[in-house]
Structures are given as structure tokens and as C-alpha cells.
Amino acid sequence: MSASTAAAALAALTDDAPAWLPPVDHWEIARDGDHWKVSGQLDTVDGTLGEADAYRLLVPVADRFKRPLTDDGRLIRTELSYFGTPVSIWYLRPVLRWLVPEQCATCPTKLGDPGVAYVRLGDGSREAPVICVGCRDRMHAAWVLTQRAPLVAARRAVSELLLADTGVQRPLWRGCFTELGGAEYPNAIGPVCTSDEHDGDDPTVYVCCPDTVVEVEAPELGAYLVELLNADAEAGERS
Ligand SMILES: [Zn+2]
Ligand SMILES: [Zn+2]
């Protein structure tokens, strides 16, 4: 059994997957003593594939090739022969014990210190991030802020206005000048003009530009609003 035979068997399995083959997300070819063998790991669908699913997928394969399904508590596996090459298809059982990382995933708090409470995010998988309760509360407060009904309503209203004005619900913004000459700093902010006639580096507002221009007295405030609006635009979907 040579490496090239094993590679050919693998190509046959991957390029023209037989109907009996369950979804596999990782293949490898490895030397096993004098032989080469092909191994495939069942696609765990981002860790959501459970033990019962693994049995449901592997039992028919074992039955088809009249080979046993082995389970050593860690690995559920069946072996078969394909184009003369030994092939094993396996499912690695996640270790169920949770690990507590040394440090909060979002701040320097040490989770092992006595009196430090922490929570596990996500679906309970063992790789799920663990954060301290302080961080959890900060995240929750931030979430509440973004869900505030007046903010959501205001965002929606502006989104419709911008769609009518610029053709996109969340255009990118820039600092701009509403008058030629004079001002040292942009005296307004406005959606980026997408007209072909308008040089992207030219910060002046012309007739080609969107009407939704907001004059701001302080350039610092304008720069801040541009950053806020662009962060929002980049975080959200644009149509
Ligand atoms: Zn923390
Ligand atoms: Zn323009």
C-alpha cells in the first residue's frame, strides 16, 4: 500500500463522494506501520453534531461494509476498505468537562481568584468563551442601549431618508465644506458622494452631492459623528 494509492482512494472519496459517505470535514492520509491509511472526521457542523448523530451517520456505513463500529469512549469509528485502501471514518467525542480559562475573555480579571464570579457564553461547548460577571454586566448594559426603542426608531427613519437621497440605507459619511474657500476645517458632514464627476478626495459639497448635509460648528464634533455613523454603517447591512 503506497502513499499514492491512498491518495487516489482519497481523491475518489472526495471528488466523487459515494452516496453512502456521510459528510466529512477533515481528511488525512497517514502511515500506519507499513501501510498507508485514509482517515476522515465526520463534519461536526461547528460542534453541533452530537454523539447520537454520529451513531446515526456511522452505523449504516459499518453495516454496509459489514465492519464493527468501535467506541472507546473517546472515538467512535468504523473502518472499511475503499479501492484497496483502509479508510476509517470517525467522530471524536468532545470532552464534556468544562475548562475554566485563567483569565476573562474580555478583560484581565483572573477567573481562578476566590470571589470572582464568571459566566460561560454560547451553547455550553467547552471552547465557549468565559467572561467575568463585571464584563457580562457591561455587555448587557451596552446591549440594552443599542436596543432602546427611540434609537431603533430614529435609525429606521434616517435609513429611509438616506435611501431616498443616496440610494443606500447606510451610506458612508465624510467631513465636508459647504462653501468654497475660507474654512480651515470641514464645517459639515455628509454622505460620501458617489457621482463619477466628483473626485473622491474633494471634500467640497457640489450639486452632485446628496442633500443630507449637516452643518456642525465644531470640527471635533463633526469628526466624531462621521466615525459614529461609519461604525454603524459598517456594522449593519447596506442595501
Ligand atoms: Zn472581564
Ligand atoms: Zn458630489
Q: What is the rounded CA–CA span in Å between residue 181 and residue 199? A: 17
pTM score? 0.42
Range in 16-25, 68-77, 97-106 the model is least confident about: 97-106
32 or 107, which is more confident: 107
**Which ligand sits nearest to residue 174's alpha carbon?**
2
pLDDT of residue 238 exceeding 50:
no
Q: What is the rounded CA–CA span in Å between residue 22 and residue 60? A: 9
What pLDDT, on a 0 to 100 scale, did the predictor assign at position 192? 95
Q: What is the rounded CA–CA span in Å between residue 79 and residue 89? A: 6
96-113 tens-digit pLDDT? 556 678 899 889 999 878
Residue 146's DSSP bridge partners are none
pLDDT band at 29 (very low <50, low <70, confident <90, very high): confident
Q: What is the rounded CA–CA span in Å between residue 104 and residue 60? A: 43
123 or 174, which is more confident: 174
194-233 tens-digit pLDDT? 999 999 889 999 999 999 999 999 999 999 999 999 988 8
pLDDT of residue 181 exceeding 80:
no
* DSSP track, 122-136: TTS-TTS-EEEHHHH
**Which ligand sits nearest to residue 129's alpha carbon?**
1
Quote the ligand 2 centre to 204 CA distance (angstroms). Answer: 8
Residue 118's DSSP bridge partners are 132
Q: What is the rounded CA–CA span in Å between residue 45 and residue 210? A: 45
What pLDDT, on a 0 to 100 scale, did the predictor assign at position 123? 62
Rounded mean pLDDT, 151-175: 90
**Protein residues near ligand 2, an ion, with CB under 5 A:** 193, 195, 198, 206, 208-209
Q: What share of the chain is helix, strand, coil (3-state, %, to 5)?
A: 30, 25, 45
What pLDDT, on a 0 to 100 scale, did the predictor assign at position 1? 58
| DSSP three-state, residue 33 | coil
pLDDT of residue 239 exceeding 60:
no
Rounded mean pLDDT, 51-64: 93
Quote the ligand 1 centre to 116 CA distance (angstroms). Answer: 10
CA–centroid distance for 29 within its chain: 29
Quote the ligand 1 centre to 227 CA distance (angstroms). Answer: 26
pLDDT of residue 23 exceeding 60:
yes
Quote the ligand 1 centre to 108 CA distance (angstroms). Answer: 6
**Residue 79 φ/ψ, nearest 5 degrees:** -120, 145
pLDDT of residue 144 exceeding 80:
no
What pLDDT, on a 0 to 100 scale, did the predictor assign at position 91? 92
Q: What is the rounded CA–CA span in Å between residue 218 and residue 230? A: 19
Q: What is the rounded CA–CA span in Å between residue 94 and residue 222? A: 51
The mean pLDDT value of the chain amounts to 86
Instruction: Tell me the domains of the chain and their CATH numbers.
Output: 3-92 (3.30.460), 96-147 (no CATH), 167-235 (no CATH)
CA–centroid distance for 10 within its chain: 30
